[in-house]
């Protein structure tokens, strides 16, 4: 079955962005299947690691994850004993997020797999193009 013409789709950055993003996430999910970690969970773990004691609101705003969704996502990470949330001293509404020792061990493994994923992605995309894309895309926030 030959591919069809893309027509006007060729002019839309969003289309190509989406196609590559889907490919990247599928590879990530497959590669981290053994740890049963999805991209959103991984990003949350990294943010907690880099910012111990953050509140859920801060994590959510940084990653663009909505409060309700993040609450459920964190509930799952807590159930797996990878994070804990104790009350923040300064503000009783906030939960202070930390990795557990078990969570740090798991994250070490996960980061290892994620690096393999990134290496495979760089190979698939071409390492030069990978760098160029990183430089172009990083300047958003």
Q: Name which of 79 and 91 has its Cβ closer to a second copy.
A: 91
Among 30, 33, 34, 51, binds a second copy (CB under 8 A): 51
- Beta carbon of residue 32, minimum distance to DNA (angstroms, whole number): 12
Number of residues that bind a second copy (CB under 8 A): 54
User: Is the distance from CB of 64 to CB of 141 less than 8 angstroms?
Assistant: no
| Cβ-Cβ contacts under 8 Å for 25 (sequence gap 6 or more) | 39
As a whole number of angstroms, the distance between CA 34 and CA 102 comes to: 17
Stretch in the footprint of a second copy (CB under 8 A) among 30-38, 59-67, 71-79, 84-92:
59-67
CA distances from 71 to 14, 66, 67, 108 (A): 29, 9, 6, 23
Q: What residue 68 binds from a second copy, DNA, none (CB within 5 to 8 A, per partner kind)?
A: DNA
Is 108 near DNA (CB under 7 A)? no
3-state secondary structure (DSSP) of residue 95? strand
Question: Which 8-state DSSP code applies to residue 2?
Answer: P
User: Is the distance from CB of 84 to CB of 98 less than 8 angstroms?
Assistant: yes
Which positions touch DNA (CB under 7 A)?
Answer: 1, 26, 38-40, 55-57, 60, 65-69, 71-75, 85, 91-95
For binding to a second copy (CB under 8 A), which residues are involved?
Answer: 1, 3-25, 28, 39, 43, 46-47, 49-51, 54, 57-59, 61-62, 64, 111, 114, 118, 121, 125, 129-130, 132-134, 136-138, 140-141
């Amino acid at each position: 079955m030959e591919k069809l013409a893309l027509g006007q789709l060729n002019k839309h950055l969003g289309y190509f962005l989406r196609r590559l993003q889907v490919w990247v996430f599928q590879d990530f999910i497959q590669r981290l299947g053994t740890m049963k970690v999805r991209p959103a969970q991984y990003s949350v773990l990294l943010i907690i690691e880099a910012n111990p004691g953050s509140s859920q609101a801060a994590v959510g705003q940084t990653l663009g994850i909505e409060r309700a969704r993040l609450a459920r996502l964190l509930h799952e990470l807590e159930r797996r004993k990878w994070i804990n949330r104790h009350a923040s001293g300064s503000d009783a509404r906030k939960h202070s997020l930390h990795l557990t020792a078990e969570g740090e061990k798991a994250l070490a493994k996960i980061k290892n797999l994620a690096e393999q994923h990134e290496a495979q992605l760089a190979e698939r995309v071409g390492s030069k193009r990978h760098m160029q894309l990183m430089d172009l895309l990083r300047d958003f926030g």
